[in-house]
Structure 1
Amino acid sequence: MTLTRGSIQGYEIDRMVLLFSMMDGSKEIPCAVSASAMDNLEHVARTAPEGREEQFLRLRDRIEQCAARKFDAREFEGKPPGIIIRSIDFRG
């Protein structure tokens, strides 16, 4: 089944990640993308915390494509298992 767009939970400043979800049918898959990954995608030095959700929205399609690739490859991390996207996931 193909993942579909879920919700945005917001920026977690302590971990420097933006939390969001993808849906596998009715099952919610927790996801996170690092602040540095988003900054690298936009070629900016550092986005302010209050601008992270807006930045995510600009990059959402690319981030969700990456999450879908990691989902298909079963690259889950953490508890509960989820998808974490870092800068390295966009190289290549």
Structure 2
Amino acid sequence: MALTRGSFNGYEFDRMVVLFSMVDGERMIPCAVSTSAMDDLEKAERVPPEQRELQFMRLRDRIEQRAAEKFVAREFEGTPPGIILRSLDFRKAR
């Protein structure tokens, strides 16, 4: 089953990540993308904290596509297991 869009769960300043979720059938998959990855994708300087949600929404399709690829590859991290996206994840040849 393919992952589907979940929810935007906020910006976590201490970890410098945007939290979101993806859905696999009935199961919610916790995900995070680093703010540096989002800035790299947009070739932007540091985006202010209050603009992180808008930035995520602009990049959402690309971020979720990469999260789905990591899900299929079973590249989980953390407890509970989830998907974490970094700048490096968007540099790999597809």
In the superposition, the TM-score normalised over structure 2's length comes to 0.97
Map residues 28-47 of structure 1 onto 2, 5 A cutoff: 28-47=28-47
Q: Once superposed, what is the RMSD of the aligned Cα atoms? A: 0.4
How far, CA to CA, are the matches of 2:68 and 2:80 in structure 1? 17
Aligned to 1:81, the other structure's residue is in SS state coil
Cα distance in structure 2, aligned partners of 1:22 and 1:43: 25
Poorly superposed stretches of 4+, deviation over 4 Å? none
SS at match of 2:63: helix
TM-superposed CA distance for 1:45, in Å, is 1.3
> How many residues are treated as equivalent by the alignment?
92
Q: Secondary structure at the match of 1:89?
A: helix
Please give the alpha-carbon distance, in whole angstroms, between the structure 1 residues aligned to 2:19 and 2:53: 10
Identity among equivalent pairs (%):
72
**Aligned twin of 2:21:** 21
Letter aligned with residue 13 of structure 1: F
Q: Which amino acid aligns with 1:90?
A: F
CA distance in 1, matches of 2:73, 2:51: 31
After TM superposition, the score normalised by the length of structure 1 is 0.99
CA distance in structure 2 between the aligned counterparts of 1:49 and 1:82, rounded to whole angstroms: 23
- The gaps in structure 1 that reach 5 residues or longer are none
Match of 2:65 in 1: 65
Letter in 2 for 1:74: R
